[in-house]
Chains A and B, each alone.
Chain A
Amino acid sequence: MSEYILELKGITKIFPGVKALNQVNFNLAKGEIHALMGENGAGKSTFIKVITGVHAPDEGEMYFEGEKVTFKNTRESQKLGIAAIYQHVTNYPDLSVTENIFIGHEKVSPRTKRILWNDMHKKAKELLDSIGANIDPKVQMGTLSVAEQQIVEIAKALSMDAKVIIMDEPTAALTKTESEQLYKIAEQLRDSGVSIILISHRFEDMYRLATRVTVFRDAQYIGCWGVNEISNEKLIFAMVGREMTQLFPPRQGKIGKEVLKVEGLSQTGYFADVSFSVRQGEILALTGLVGAGRTEVCESIFGITKPDKGKIYFEGKEIKINEPLEAMNMGIGYLPEDRQKQGLILQWGIGKNITLSTLSQISKAGWLNEKKEAEVAKTLAEKVTVKATSIFDTADSLSGGNQQKVVVAKLLASELKVIILDEPTKGVDVGAKYAIYEIMRELAKQDYAIIMVSSEMPEVLGMSDRIAVMRDGRITATLEADGISQEKILEFAMLEKE
């Protein structure tokens, strides 16, 4: 009998063209909370999917309670008592909490197959009480907060007698008090003998809960340490440790006068008291963890949503923006975070996508001038070096990088002074990344003021002139980029301020 409840050895998973996991090891003791850390794309998500049976590994072995196991699907792993709670909860918002907990394994009377609601409600209440959650099992799931929904998911795992619970970024969308409640639950579970794999970007999660931490980097296993044995610096180095392989084009031009300033911007439930400014020719990085409220801030500047409080100044004058079009007419452009859902019409050709935001320029009194459109589209597509044969190629036929270039080209079609780029290189291959960086530099040289939202530390350090760090909806620091270290930024983004 092994001392570990779960043990994985030499796991390799290959997707077409990429090794998502390369010979990684992991083990989990009974009643242990084990943190799994690593940058975005380090292979954590794939690893979970291997454990839960979504993906079958190409190499390697998995042992559960000392026995070798292979899972064909998630049901098989569930049967043994492995449950995963994902960041984006996948539940039934219209159904009651009880039902969300018991769906698929409802309690029915043995003879008539009648669903025993009272038993289920009672059991659900017990489960929720047992983890100290004060949630009425009869209310609709959708009326609960994200934190409460996560707690229900935990109760669901317990209802299936889970022995191993995987929590994927459980606190990412939670506020401080909500996180605190979750910590208490996790501790309680640990004390009752449940083992937990905790995936988190937050150091405080790890310090608070875990006894050991395993680090992945670039699909590789880097190491496993006791939480008390390893220092902050060493851990961060383990996570990002590679040499800066990406090169960034050099800074050019100089920084001019202030163009956009926000003061005390707040939106209930999303962000509070956000202030920063950006100048001509400057690249301001807005960084922090996913869910820190960066996108929400940008969207409220661009007029997608409205801030509840605060002021926005453009070239010294206070402005109110109700519609994206007003922002664009003023000279503020926004490259949205999700290019497939917010940036592009995938079924359309590149050309039509590029001109979508500037239809008034290629038309006269509402009549489209398709000849002019083709010219404009061609010029812009070539300017951002889209790899395509014609402007009639549909957007969904392009790679991620080229899609992003098309969205950038669409931005450039308008006359702008401020460009907000939300995760401009997310899901973009290295070559296209460099091209996007070059475009950004070129724009800065042409006196555009640029706000870049990014979670990628090398990019933040390599591209920006100043860095604003957000955490839980507030700006925790605004730093000059010169001479700042990655570790310092991560501290502001992840660590609780004293």
Chain B
Amino acid sequence: METKRIVSNKKEFNLKKFFFQWEWMLVAVFIIINIINTNLSPYYLSFGGIMDATMTFLDKAFMVLPMVLIIILGDIDISIASTTALSSVIMAVAYNMGLPMPLAVLLALTVGAVCGMTNGILIVKFKELPAMIVTLSTMIIYRGIAYIILEDQAAGKFPSWYSYLGWGYVGKIPFMLIAFILIAVLFGLLLHKTTFGRSVYGMGNNITACRYSGIKTDHIKVAVFTLMGIMASVTALFLTSRTGSTRPNVAIGYEMDVIAMVVLGGISTLGGRGKMLGAVISVFIIGLLRYGLGLINVPAQALMIIIGIILIVAVTIPNINLNGFKKKRLAA
């Protein structure tokens, strides 16, 4: 041990690496979309218009944030839209039965947490079952419970202050946007700056090594799924506020939209890779794309095609890049 080796711990700034990040590409796409939209419609670039538009797509965006954690773990949760429906329905019914609204909101969040935690516990107790299958069955059950509670009725008539959640402004900025940005920042910090986030990345890369390193992998997984459930009910809060009433069939298909946004954000379904920022940008890309195309009367359905193609191109590009890079390295 006499010859001491020096191992540097100074992070070197790598310009190339910095610029070849998926997030930059997303920013570029974002800018291009805005330029195109501006050229297509003179109405696009109005501040108020964009602000209003955000309120139409941000409800499901709250679920994108925890879904990033779940996909980084290498898992998936397709029960989220059902959780949204169930907490929305329970909140509405509880309120209509006389529970004060603040308590009903709290109840909704609790329902979400319970749904998410149930998923998490099932997944860690039955490790041989893929998360996809476990959440497929709870997806059916959660929405099924919502149907049992409300049948084909609608429930609503919320107090007027509740509509502020989905429709209100702080100054000229929608409350929903502010809430989203705030929560997104919190999730970003959680993922990138805490031991919890570090463990999540670690588990996505190699869960066995994490277990051998003394990380309580089961606890973390259950926590992440619980967080997912809670955010699904946050979506329920905003969605219900915007629609003013709720039915058991709300938010159908949201899970696929959310997963698509996460994947587009550069989070690999293999687990272990991706950043919160990427997913947040892709929320706005898809949202504003929809808004812009809506202005020039492109049907929403055409947008589905575009999103589908973007999704596939997006996951293909890194592969091509990587192969090219490998070949270069071999040649060198």
Is A87 part of the contact surface with B, judged by Cβ < 8 Å? Answer: no
Complex: A88 Cα to B205 Cα, angstroms: 25
Beyond A356-B215, A366-B194, A368-B195, is A386–B209 a contact (Cβ under 8 Å)? no
Q: A341-B209, A367-B193 known; A357 and B5 CB under 8 Å? A: no
Cβ-neighbour of A410 out of B208, B211, B213 (below 8 A): B213
Q: With a CB–CB cut-off of 8 A, which chain B residues contact A334?
A: 212
Q: How far is the CA of A387 from the CA of B10 in the complex (A)?
A: 16
- Given contact pairs A357-B214, A368-B198, A378 touches B9 in the complex (Cβ within 8 A): yes
Which residues from A are CB-within-8-Å of B1? 383, 385, 438-439, 442
Q: Is the pair B211, A366 in contact by a Cβ cutoff of 8 Å?
A: no
A388 within 8 Å of B (CB atoms) = yes
Q: Does B33 contact A (CB under 8 A)?
A: no
A53 interfacial by beta-carbon distance below 8 Å = no
Known pairs A348-B205, A356-B202, A367-B194; A382 contacts B5 (CB<8 A): yes
| Separation of A170 and B4 alpha carbons in the complex (Å) | 46
Roughly how many angstroms separate A303 CA and B214 CA in the complex, as a whole number? 9
For the complex, is B210 an interface residue (Cβ under 8 Å from A)?
yes
| Most-contacted residue by chain A among B5, B205, B272 (CB, 10 A) | B5
Which chain A residues in 349-367 approach chain B with CB under 8 Å?
350-352, 356-357, 359-360, 363, 366-367
- The interface residues of chain B lying within 8 Å CB-to-CB of A302 are 212
Chain A residues whose C-beta falls within 8 Å of the C-beta of B214 in the assembled complex: 323-325, 327-328, 357, 414
B7 touches A381 (CB 8 A): yes
User: Chain B's nearest CB lies how many Å from the CB of A359?
Assistant: 4
The reply on A120 being an interface residue by CB < 8 A is no
> By CB atoms of chain B within 10 A, which of A348, A351, A439 has the most?
A348
Q: A348-B205, A368-B193 are in contact. Are A374 and B199 (CB under 8 A)?
A: no
Interface residues of A in 330-355 (CB under 8 A from B): 334, 336, 341-348, 350-352
Query: Which residues of B lie under 8 Å from residue A378 when comparing CB positions?
Result: 7-9
Chain A nearest CB from B226 CB (Å) reads: 16
Q: Which residues of A contact B210 (CB under 8 A)?
A: 345, 356
Q: A310 to B298: give the CA distance in the assembly, Å.
A: 71
Assess the B196–A390 pair: CB atoms within 8 A.
no
CA gap between A226 and B202 in the complex, in Å: 54
Beta-carbon contacts of B7-18 to A below 8 Å, as 1s and 0s? Answer: 111111000000
Q: A341-B206, A344-B206 are in contact. Are A356 and B213 (CB under 8 A)?
A: yes
Give the distance to chain B from A340, nearest Cβ to Cβ, in Å.
9
Main secondary structure of the interface of A (DSSP, over half): helix
Chain A contacts for B216, CB-based, 8 A: 323, 325
With a cutoff of 8 Å between Cβ atoms, the chain B residues found around residue A414 in the complex are 214
**Does B6 have its Cβ within 8 Å of any Cβ on chain A?**
yes
> Which residues of the other chain, A, contact B5 by a CB distance below 8 angstroms?
382, 385-387
Chain B residues closer than 8 Å to A325, beta-carbon distance: 214-216
Bound-state Cα–Cα, A414 to B212, Å: 13
A395 to chain B, nearest CB (A): 10
Which of A345, A366, A368 is in CB contact (< 8 Å) with B202?
A: A345
**Across the A-B interface, how many residue pairs have beta carbons closer than 8 Å?**
105
Give how many A residues have a beta carbon under 8 Å from the other chain's beta carbons.
48
Residues of B within 8 A of A482 (CB): none
Interface residues of A in 290-323 (CB under 8 A from B): 302, 304, 323
Q: Mark A387-416, 1 if CB is under 8 A from B, else 0.
A: 111111000000000000000001000100
Chain B, residue nearest A439 (CB): B1
Name the contact of A342 in the complex, choosing from B196, B202, B209 (C-beta under 8 A): B209
> What chain B residues lie within 8 Å of A336 (beta carbons)?
212
Q: Chain B contacts of A356 at CB under 8 A? A: 198, 202, 209-210, 213, 215
**Given the complex, which residues of A lie within 8 Å of B12, measured CB to CB?**
390, 392
Query: Are A341 and B195 interface neighbours, CB within 8 A?
Result: no
CA of A378 to CA of B10, assembled, Å: 10
Nearest-CB distance from A125 to chain B (Å)?
31
Provide the bound-state CA to CA distance between A438 and B1, in Å.
8
| Inter-subunit contact B213/A391 (CB<8 Å) | no
Instruction: Report how far A324 CA is from B195 CA in the complex, Å.
Output: 17
A325–B7 CA distance with the chains assembled, in angstroms:
28
Is A375 at the interface (CB under 8 A from chain B)? yes
CB distance from A342 to the nearest CB of B (A): 5
Q: Is the CB of B215 within 8 A of A391?
A: no
Most chain A CB inside 10 Å of its own CB: which residue of B10, B11, B198: B198
A389 with B193: CB separation less than 8 A: no
- Contact, CB under 8 Å: B9 / A359: no
Question: Which residues of A lie under 8 Å from residue B208 when comparing CB positions?
Answer: 341-342
A174 at the interface (CB under 8 A from B): no
Please tell me if the beta carbons of A344 and B9 are within 8 angstroms of each other in the complex.
no
> In the bound complex, do residue A343 and residue B212 qualify as a contact, i.e. CB atoms below 8 Å apart?
yes
Bound Cα distance from A366 to B212, whole angstroms: 20
B27 to chain A, nearest CB (A): 24
List the B side residues contacting A410 at CB < 8 Å.
213
Considering only CB atoms, which chain B residue lies closest to A438 in the complex?
Answer: B1
Chain B residues with Cβ below 8 Å from A343 are: 209, 212
In the complex, the chain A residue whose C-beta lies closest to that of B3 is A385
The answer to whether B8 and A391 touch across the interface, beta carbons within 8 angstroms, is: yes
Residue of A nearest to B189 (CB): A367
Tell me the residues in window 308-328 of chain B with beta carbons closer than 8 Å to chain A beta carbons.
none
- The complex places the Cα of A414 from the Cα of B273 at a distance, in Å, of 27
User: A359 to B11, Cβ gap below 8 A?
Assistant: no
Smallest CB gap from A410: residue in B: B213
Task: Please give, as numbers and ranges, the residues of chain A lying within 8 Å of B3 by CB-CB distance.
Answer: 385
> In the bound complex, do residue B7 and residue A350 qualify as a contact, i.e. CB atoms below 8 Å apart?
yes
Q: How far is the CA of A336 from the CA of B8 in the complex (A)?
A: 27
Q: In the complex, A356→B199 CA distance in Å?
A: 8
Q: Which residues of B contact A450 (CB under 8 A)?
A: none
Kindly state the separation between the CA atoms of A344 and B206 in the bound complex, as whole angstroms: 8
Report chain B residues within 8 Å CB of A439: 1
Instruction: Chain A residues near B206: list those with CB within 8 A.
Output: 341, 344-346
Residues of B within 8 A of A346 (CB): 205-206
The smallest C-beta distance from A355 to any residue of chain B, in angstroms, reads 9
Given contacts A359-B198, A363-B194, contact A390 B9 (CB under 8 A): yes
Q: How far is the CA of A394 from the CA of B56 in the complex (A)?
A: 43
Given contacts A363-B195, A366-B194, contact A389 B212 (CB under 8 A): no
B196 touches A366 (CB 8 A): yes
Q: Please tell me if A182 contacts chain B, counting CB pairs below 8 Å.
A: no
CA distance A119 to B1 in the complex (A): 68
Closest chain B residue, CB of each to CB of A347: B205
- Give bound CA distance, A342 to B217, whole Å: 14
What 12 new A-B contacts, CB under 8 Å, besides A324-B211, A343-B212, A346-B205?
A328-B214, A341-B209, A359-B215, A360-B195, A368-B195, A378-B7, A382-B4, A382-B6, A383-B1, A390-B8, A391-B9, A392-B11
For this complex, 13 residue pairs linking A to B, each with C-beta atoms less than 8 Å apart, are: A323-B216, A334-B212, A341-B206, A345-B205, A356-B198, A368-B194, A374-B11, A375-B9, A378-B9, A385-B3, A389-B8, A390-B9, A392-B11
The 10 A-B residue pairs with the shortest CB-CB distance in the complex, in nearest-first order: A357-B213, A374-B9, A378-B9, A359-B195, A390-B8, A325-B214, A381-B7, A328-B214, A356-B213, A324-B214
